[in-house]
C-alpha cells in the first residue's frame, strides 16, 4: 500500500493545486499540507505487512547486497534489497525467525522492518 505524507510534519492530508504557466502553456501540480502549510512534493511511502521468509544473497558467492524475502497475506512475494550489515543487525535485534509476521515501511531513502507481536 502506498501512503503519501508531508516530509515536514508527517500529515497525510494534502491539497493538490494546479498551476498554469501561460508562457509555456502547461499545467503543473503543487501540493500543500493541510496541517503545516508545507508546499512541495509529499513523500511516497510504501508500507505492507507479511510473513518473513528469510534472507539470501542477491548475487551468489558475494557478501552483498542481500534480499529480505517476505510473503504478503494475499500470497504476493516482496523482496527488499539491503546491505548485509543492515539486514543482519535488524534481524538479530528483532530476533526474527522464518514465519514471523512483519511490517515493512520504505520511502525513497530509508527502510524499516518491524516484528508484529501477536
Same domain, 24 and 54: no
Residue in the block written with cell 502506498: 2
For residue 77, give the CATH number of its domain: 2.40.50.100
Interatomic CA distance for residues 56 and 61, integer angstroms: 11
Count of structural domains, the chain:
2
Interatomic CA distance for residues 32 and 6, integer angstroms: 9
For residue 6, give the CATH number of its domain: 2.20.25
Interatomic CA distance for residues 114 and 106, integer angstroms: 12
Interatomic CA distance for residues 52 and 58, integer angstroms: 17
Same domain, 90 and 64: yes
Determine the structural domain holding residue 25 and report its residue range: 2-41
Helix (H, G, I), strand (E, B) or coil at 21: strand
**pLDDT tens for residues 4-30?**
788 888 888 877 776 666 555 666 667
Interatomic CA distance for residues 66 and 59, integer angstroms: 8
Same domain, 28 and 54: no
Same domain, 6 and 58: no
Asked whether the whole model's pTM tops 0.85, one would answer no
Same domain, 36 and 57: no
Same domain, 56 and 21: no
Strands 14-21 and 77-82: unpaired
**pLDDT tens for residues 50-92?**
999 988 888 777 776 788 889 988 889 988 888 877 777 888 8
Amino acid at each position: 500500500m502506498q501512503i503519501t505524507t508531508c516530509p515536514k510534519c508527517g500529515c497525510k492530508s494534502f491539497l493538490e493545486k494546479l498551476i498554469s504557466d501561460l508562457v509555456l502553456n502547461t499545467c503543473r501540480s503543487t501540493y500543500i499540507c493541510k496541517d503545516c502549510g508545507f508546499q512541495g512534493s509529499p513523500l511516497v511511502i510504501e508500507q505492507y505487512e507479511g510473513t518473513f521468509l528469510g534472507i539470501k544473497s542477491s548475487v551468489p558467492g558475494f557478501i552483498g547486497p542481500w534480499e529480505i524475502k517476505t510473503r504478503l497475506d494475499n500470497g504476493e512475494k516482496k523482496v527488499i534489497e539491503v546491505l548485509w550489515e543492515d539486514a543482519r543487525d535488524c534481524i538479530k535485534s528483532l530476533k526474527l525467525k522464518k514465519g514471523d509476521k512483519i511490517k515493512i515501511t520504505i520511502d525513497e531513502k530509508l527502510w524499516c522492518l518491524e516484528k508484529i507481536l501477536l
